[in-house]
A and B are shown apart, each in its own frame.
Chain A
């Protein structure tokens, strides 16, 4: 049974980083213009990709299902606006690899007509949690904090599990990103309604909103809304601002003093954590019948003229957002999606916003400087001091550097949340997180290869067995045939053999005559045409003989 601490605990490690959020919060939240063309990827979440249910040429309405989910850990995709499906194929998506992925391209008709989605629930608090989960799944809602885990799965604690505490993550600890703060200030009602629905679906005993102390406006807006609605079951806990307080495990530790077990999930200690944006999306789906077709994106950095938060339709090209924010400044050096710590650089701005794109950072050279070349590790252990997961980044680095994939797992590589605190403080400027990411994907790839080779070995062995079986069966048949031959009369008995041969011949004749009775020879029953043809050919033949 977890209990909320009166005074938040201090999670280990972490860094104080300049928030850099005020520049994107001066302008009010605005809706982004709907672009003429939207590129909607089929995979915008952790888990399996969705499968298209429309084809090029189809007309779609806003909110209409365009791709259905496959498998349990999967989410459907909906049309962000009304228009026509112009193509389905591989298009560039925001991903560190720069590779393309299957997308549905929609040309908007400018009318933004809505479909009847059937997602609305009139009496959600009387509904069964399983039905609520199904609606959340059908609405395509995934975790909007950045990871994109299908929310319906995280609303299912599992059989026999009790949810002691529902934590709403409003911490937003990464510099530059302010989309959650904008959401809480502009739409506190959606946030609170969404939290109430989640509380009911999970039968959570306690509910708390964890928020950093550097967003007083948001705290006030939420508190006012809770008071206005007379909501007594949801409380707000303010925690000191420190990166990465918004990490799920770090936030849970700060609020409860309990650690989520290594490679485990928060539900293992009776806690479920959802992002505040996810809560708002649930409210829009259940109370307004709107699937996840838009999200708030922070467009910021010294490289853009008017940094602000925008409500963006999924599939909008990033270039369109930059334009709406006054275009690039002369200082722009790099374009990142995500924040400065956990985001990744983009090669082009012709990429779509997807469900997990929380921020577009057009950074200047000062905001994102070229890193100095790395020097050797001096074993200073500053990385160990700042790791919020209490890992040993130094050891992880050495084993990743040596490509020793077995020993690196002994140091709990998969508990690393890739927050970047270690790389930030390293005096030798070693790109530590790059090494951990390399090791993780390498290990996953090795596991996949091992599974494939195990399967190939089984198939090969099965084939060897089959060939053995077939060989044995053939030998047995031959042995039996030989035996039955031996039983028959010997070769010396010529008469008996002759009799056998004659009997066989008689059988064949009988069969032939039977067939002959049944089917006419092809020289009988000719038509008059065929007769004429035969005569002509005969005449030609004999005529030739005469002539030659």
Chain B
């Protein structure tokens, strides 16, 4: 009886020491869930979710201060992915924060631009090339479509244009029974 108690006691002490050592040696500073949430967000950095960027929004979700349906650029896909990650039910996009539109990029009208650099200071991903009194231009490949450059422009020369549909990036649509058939016969069955 006594030996059993001593044995268990020693084992408990041993495991306690191991756990204590591990909690110091393998300490994780940041909460990894924030990184995981941030990885699912579209990184538009637009602020429509009411937070100043995607990382603060991710931190708010992790802290339980924000809901998962506040991101319009992410749309349904992001809400579903966040729901899966956090193990909660998905919900429809909160219309207060905006609606999910097609992808757009900003374009500067070079005839009107006065070279004031206000848009350059506003762009969260530094996608605008230019300097004071020099022409400003938007690097379309880096533009996330966040629209933060539109309000600061004093001459209102920035417009949002939809991204051109490229045949190489075309996607097969989800098969619906009422869609016009665009594929060959095998994808629909011959009655032979």
Contact = CB atoms under 8 A, between A and B. Distances in A.
B171 A442 contact: yes
Given A453-B43, A463-B124, A433 B186 contact: yes
A101 interface: yes
Interface string A353-391: 000000000010000111111100000000000000000
B175 A435 contact: yes
Given A369-B191, A459-B125, A438 B172 contact: yes
Interface residues of B, number: 37
B28 interface: no
B183 A462 contact: no
A460 B53 contact: yes
A373 B43 CA distance: 41
Interface stretch (B6-14, B15-23, B89-97, B162-170): B162-170
Given A453-B41, A456-B44, A423 B167 contact: no
B87 interface: no
B44 A423 contact: no
B30 interface: no
B167 A101 contact: yes
A369 B188 CA distance: 9
Given A423-B187, A423-B189, A426-B189, A460 B43 contact: yes
A457 B41 CA distance: 10
A437 B184 contact: no
A426 B44 CA distance: 43
Given A345-B181, A431-B175, A448 B167 contact: no
B142 A445 contact: no
Contacts of B189: 371-372, 423-426, 429, 431
Contacts of B171: 438, 441-442, 445
Contacts of A368: 185, 190
Contacts of A215: none
B182 interface: yes
B158 interface: no
19 contacts: A96-B182, A336-B185, A341-B185, A369-B190, A371-B189, A421-B186, A429-B188, A429-B189, A433-B187, A434-B175, A434-B183, A437-B172, A441-B171, A456-B142, A459-B127, A460-B45, A460-B124, A463-B125, A466-B126
Interface of A: 43, 49, 93, 95-101, 336, 338-345, 363, 368-374, 403, 419-421, 423-426, 429, 431-435, 437-438, 440-442, 445-446, 448-449, 452-457, 459-460, 462-463, 466
